[in-house]
Structures are given as structure tokens and as C-alpha cells.
Amino acid sequence: MSSPMWTPSPERAAQTAMARFMREVGKRDYAELHQWSVEHAPEFWNRVWDFCGVIGEKGSETPVHGERMPGARWFPNARLNFAQNLLRRRDGAEALVFWGEDRIKRRMTYRQLYNLVSRIAQALADVGVGKGDRVAGYLPNLPEATAAMLATASLGAVWSSCSPDFGVQGVLDRFGQIEPKVLFCADGYIYNGKEFDCQEKAMQVLDRLPSVEELVVIDYIGETTTAGTSLYDFLEPFDPGEIQYQSVAFNDPLYIVYSSGTTGVPKCIVHGAGGTLLQHLKEHRLHSDVRVGDRLFYFTTLGWMMWNWLVSGLASEATLLLYDGSPFINRGRLLFDYADAERMTHFGTSAKFIDSLAKTGLKPMETHQLKKLRAVLSTGSPLLPEGFDYVYQNVKSDVCLSSISGGTDIVSCFVLGNPAGPVWRGEIQAKGLGMAVEVFDEQGRSAVGEKGELVCTRPFPSMPIGFWNDPDGAKYRAAYFEKYPDVWRHGDWSEITEHGGIIIYGRSDAVLNPGGVRIGTAEIYRQVEQLEEVVESLVIGQDWQGDVRVVLFVKLRDGLDLDDDTVNSIKRRIRDNTTPRHVPAKIVQVTDIPRTKSGKIVELAVRDVVHGRAVKNIEALANPEALEQFKNRAELAD
């Protein structure tokens, strides 16, 4: 398109932290700022530390082995505490607001949060938790989950979590590797108006997790504590007091997060305290323009790194709007009720949620005021151009729509928003500051305007400090540096546009390759899911007669069957808007699309099933039963 979909007014742009930072460092525009941030990375990250007011001792500003990828050590003499940076306020303003669907609502001030963290930290220390020990949460997105993480971090211990919809084996696949000393769970959780018990599963986990010395149960849905110790009893001996923050090194471990695990036991990715803090402060303050007193929401569970990203908003003195349950209560209206009632400034969600709203015809612009809303953030999968249309036409015309992308691997983003810059249809606005993002073509050369591998060519502070139980770093190097030595290969099939924006076409390991032509899966989804009959789709490449053929699976609206007219309509739409190579050789109807706990469709798992290969870890899936539909399909045998 010839013009942006949205551009901030000069006054609005000038008021952003991004614009202020740009003025402070003497750069004229974002392109110049980004170039400086990667070419003079130590100076850039030092300025971010000061601009964001990191609490701690900075020490030497010069990285050790600053060019090593991996191996660079940022702020090698720094000392800080992650929790201290998030608990910088102790007043009566709201720190956390919680909605459990439309049934439970709670509030917690900064003072109340501080006091709760103080008591949990004392109780954890009393059972022997100290620096380097692991504490795990098998929890909904409750205020107590945030407090338990902060208490863990205050002691210099390591936090790890997953959501209560994980099955017992899924929890053991994760926590069994890291051997936590304390496990927090809730008595239950809510989803789509129904209550689900958690304690029975927690006890099954406990029976097979001998490292756990204390199981602490948080009262959420009012069930009697039948497993472990209630949070009330765990904290009863301790009064609120000054938190004794344990000072840690910049690269001491803070979080253990997990790969999706659909190709085997999940990788345990360890992230450091300093790198996580500095990267999140940069992304919140500069790229998302989160200000003191803002009301920050992201729909996430504790099984997704976006929860880790969300809770860091406390370091920018924002109020976190937490949510547990289905996002589709009242056909998706409840989250917009939440936005109005709680004066939400940042609405964070998934591309799939935006697509679903468009399918249902919901128009929040007509039903809600959304007066305070300044930004809509989207991640989890590529936000298609039509998703941009939907937001600006049906949600709010004057918002910064920031499609963002990165992931668990870096617990942050490679590419994301710029609140002082324009939004172009279908494009992520910008490469992250300090992130040397490029797209490599087939020859491993940097390319603009053509599709290729998303890479990062220089070190950055939020790189993992390693994988758990990977003492020589071999698994870590194999995961990201095997294809391009000394260059991080992220695994996204992408393109850098003439505007300096980024388009992501899907995972590069799921890229289709019919006749040697590489096709990103999002290129097909974009066309298919615009059709009224199609609710959702999944596409794979099937090995066939020495080549690869494109196979498309579609979930249709209730009551519809895949007839010849629908097949022809799908093929015609794809052919007219892409190329003949994109047109599926086979189109097959299914009733459900398998996805991970964080909502991402699993193309690789389906490809394995179609080819008769075992899916190594179905515990990673939210709906593993859906895979059965893809086995031994007669349509795929000829």
C-alpha cells in the first residue's frame, strides 16, 4: 500500500519514551538509532540501563568476549536483584488487577504485593530455598503467582512455571528435569465457565517428583486443601517486613522456560536476571511506550513466556491486568469489557484471537469506548494483513498496532513495535533496538525484499545463559548456531521490507517446498482463512513420488461439509492471490486443529502423523486427541 495505516501525530510521537531516548542519544530517526544500537552495543545497553533506572551496581560497562556468539558476557561485574527492580513501589496504587473470567475479581496494591512477597520469601527461606534453588509454579495467572515468582527471585532462586491445563506427564517432562525444591499449585482453575480441580494432578506430580520438599496450595475456587500445605498455613508464622534482596550477578539464572516439546522432551532454557530485566525494560519503555500508571494486559498463561514478559511491566510502574480463563467468554466481548472497566492502555493478545473476532463479526468500536487504549499487541503467529484491517476498522482507529515476534528462546522479541513510527499493513514495525536482525537468503547473504531465514548476527543480553543439564553447551549451540556459525538462526521464514519492517511467513522448518520452491505457510493461511466457510486451517508438505506436495486441512463452520464447490473456491482463491505452486494438491476436512498449550498450531506434529512417524511428546499439546484425525487418511494415499 502507498501509505501507512496509522501514523502518530507529531505531538504524540514526541511524547513517547522512544522519542525522548532518541533525543538523548542524538539520533535523528529510528533507522539511525537502530544502526547505532547494534554497532555500538555496549554504549547502547549502558544508556538503556541509565534511561530505565535499573536498581543495582552496574560495574564495568564493557562486555567480556563481546563479539562471541554465544559467549559474550554483558555487565560482567554488575550486581542486582530482579525482584527489587519490580518492587520499586510500596504505595497504595494498584499493582495487580485480576479477573477470573466474569466470576472472580480481585485487586492488590503495590504495598499489599510487597507485603505478600515479603512473607512468601520468608517462608521459602524457612524451608531452605536459597540462591540457585528452583521453585516451580503449576498455576493459573493469579496475583499469588506473580508474588511467588518475585519472592523466589528476591532470594536469588530460580523460577519456572507451567499452566494448570498441563497433564501430569507434561508437568513431569518439564519440572522433572530441573528438580524444584518447592511447588506451588492452586486448588483449581476456571475455563469457559467450568471449574477444574488441580490438587489431584498436583499430588500425582508430587509422587513422581522427589525433589519437592513442600507443596503449597493457593485458594482460588474455594476447594478444601487436600494436598500439601495451604498458602495461609505456609505464611501464617511470618509477618510482612523489609525484603532482604539477594544480590546476584547479571548472568545468574532467574527463569527456566521450555521449548514447546512437540519433537521430544522440552528443552529447559535458562535465562539470566540482568539480561531479562534489561531487555524487558527496553521493550516495555521504548518499544511499547509503557508509562508509570499505565494498565498493561496480555492474555497469557504461566506456560507461555509472555507471562514472564507481562510481569516485568511492574518494573515500569504499570498496573498489570491479569486474566484467567477462556478469552472467548461472551464471544470475546469479556476482554473488551475488561478493557473498559479497568481503563486498559495496552491490549495484548494473539493473532488467532484477532482472526477469531473477525470471523464472529465482533465490532468493539461500536460496543465499547476503549478511551484509554493506546496500543494493541499481537504475537503467537503472524498477524495477517487482514488482521491489521480488522483492528483499525473494528477495534480502534487510533492505536499503535504492534505485531511482535521473538519467543521462549530469548524470553523477548527480535522484532516489535515503534510507538513513534508508522504502522504499515501486514508488517511488524521494526527490528528491536540492540538486535542485529537480518534475513539471510539461500547463500547465507543478507537480503532485503526477498524471503529467507531470520537471523541475529551479533550478541545481545537476553540470549539464554544455557540449557539445563547441558554442561558443555553442545545442545545450546546445536539449537541456534549449527546452520550459520557465530550467527543465531531463529527459525522464522521472513522478509525485510522497503520500510524497514518485517513480515514473517511461518516457521522455516515448516516451509513447504513443492518442486523446489519455498513457500511460507502463512502465505496460504492468509488466503484460506478469509473464506467465510473456513474457521481455521493447517498446511503441510507431504513427501510424494520423489517430491513434496501441498496438503491443506480445513476446519469448516458447523454444519458444513467439504464439497467440490468449496474445494474449488479454496483453490481459486489461493491461485488468484498467490501462485499455482501454492495451490494444494489435496484439501481434507477435519473437525479440529491440534495446537500447543500457548495456542500455536503444530504443523510439524501433523506432518509426522501423516508420514506415519510417532509424535514424541503429545503432552505438549492442548488437544492431542485432534491428531487422530490425521492418521491413515485415505485421501492422502493417492
Within a domain: 537 = yes
Within a domain: 518 = yes
| pLDDT (mean) for 49-77 | 94
Residue 619's CATH number:
3.30.300.30
Of 4-13, 290-299, 337-346, 559-568, which gets the smallest average pLDDT?
559-568
Within a domain: 345 = no
Task: With a cut of 70, say whether residue 262 has pLDDT above it.
Answer: no
Within a domain: 20 = no
User: In the predicted model, what is the mean pLDDT of the chain?
Assistant: 95
Provide the 10 A C-beta neighbour count for residue 1. 9
Please, which pLDDT band fits residue 596 given cuts at 50, 70 and 90?
confident
Q: Give the chain's domain count.
A: 2
| pLDDT (mean) for 143-151 | 98
Quick one: 391 exposed, middle or buried, by C-beta within 10 A (0-12, 13-18, 19+)?
Answer: buried
| pLDDT (mean) for 307-318 | 98
Q: Does 264 or 19 have the greater pLDDT score?
A: 19
Within a domain: 14 = no
Task: With a cut of 90, say whether residue 570 has pLDDT above it.
Answer: yes
Please, which pLDDT band fits residue 370 given cuts at 50, 70 and 90?
very high
Residue 148's domain comprises 81-291+302-311
Q: Is the peptide bond before 70 cis (omega within 30 degrees of 0)?
A: yes
Express each pLDDT in 91-104 by its tens digit: 999 999 999 999 99
Please, which pLDDT band fits residue 278 given cuts at 50, 70 and 90?
very high
Express each pLDDT in 127-141 by its tens digit: 999 999 999 999 999
Express each pLDDT in 574-592 by its tens digit: 999 988 889 999 999 999 9
Give the per-residue pLDDT at 437.
Answer: 98
Long-range contacts (CB closer than 8 Å, 24 or more residues apart) made by 628-636: 629/590, 629/591, 629/592, 630/553, 630/590, 630/606, 633/588, 635/586, 635/588, 636/542, 636/551, 636/586, 636/588, 636/610
Within a domain: 432 = no
**C-alpha dist (Å) from residue 423 to 5, 267, 385, 400, 572:** 6, 35, 11, 7, 30
Express each pLDDT in 330-359 by its tens digit: 999 999 999 999 999 999 999 989 999 999
Give the per-residue pLDDT at 306.
Answer: 96
Of 261, 283, 311, the residue at which a domain comes to its end is: 311
Residue 271's CATH number:
3.40.50.12780
